[in-house]
Amino acid sequence: MACWKFTTVNAHRVSRLTWSERYLFVQALVLLPVVALTLRSVGFGPLQRIIVRLSRTQQGVPVDQSPYIRTSVWAIAAAARHARLDPNCLERSLLLWWLLRRRGVAAVVRIGVRKDASLLQAHAWIEVDGQVVADRTDVGAHFTPFERAIVPVAGKAP
C-alpha cells in the first residue's frame, strides 16, 4: 500500500525548472495519487476507459523528437519521490499514458510477465512508436509482453 505522506519540495530546485516543467511536476504530484486510488477502487478496465475519454485523439509524436515525453517521465518519477509514494509500475505507466495521450502522443501501455523461481511477476511500461519510454529499453527481454498492447480503438478501450 502506498504511503501518502508528502515531503517539502526544495524551493531552490523548483525555481530552476521551466514553467512547463513545474506544471508537469505539479500535475504528476496531484494525479499520481488519483490514478493509484482510482485503480485500486474501480479497477483497471474502468480507469482505462476514463483515461481514453479524457484524452485527445492520438496523432503520433516520435519519441526522439519530444522533450515533452522526457519531461513527463521525469515529472512522474520526481512526484513519486517527493510524495513519498510507492507507486507500482502500472500506476506510473497509466499516468504517463494519460499525460502523453492528452498531448496527442500515440503511447501504448505494454504488460509483460516472467516466471522467477515459483513466482509469476508482471510489469507494465509505455511504448511510443515501438520504443520503450520510462523504462529499460530491453524490458521486453526480461518480461514477455502480451501479444497485443493496450490500445484504445475508436476512442474505446478494448
State mean pLDDT over 91-103.
Answer: 91
Cβ proximity of 36 and 80 under 8 Å: no
What angle (nearest 5°) sits at the alpha carbon of residue 88, between those of residues 7 and 82?
Answer: 15
Mean model confidence pLDDT for the chain: 79
State mean pLDDT over 132-140.
Answer: 82
Q: How many domains does the chain have?
A: 1
* Domain interval for residue 41: 11-106
pLDDT for 94: 94
Q: What pLDDT, in 10s, does the model give residues 32-63?
A: 999 999 999 999 999 998 998 888 655 555 55
Rounded CA separation 130/31 (Å)? 26
Sequence-distant (≥ 6) Cβ neighbours of residue 140 within 8 angstroms: 110, 112, 132
pLDDT for 64: 54
Tell whether 135 is covered by a domain: no
Tell whether 96 is covered by a domain: yes
Tell whether 66 is covered by a domain: yes
Rounded to two decimals, the pTM is 0.80
Cβ neighbours of 78 (radius 10 Å): 19
Tell whether 86 is covered by a domain: yes
- Answer whether residue 16 shows pLDDT above 60: yes
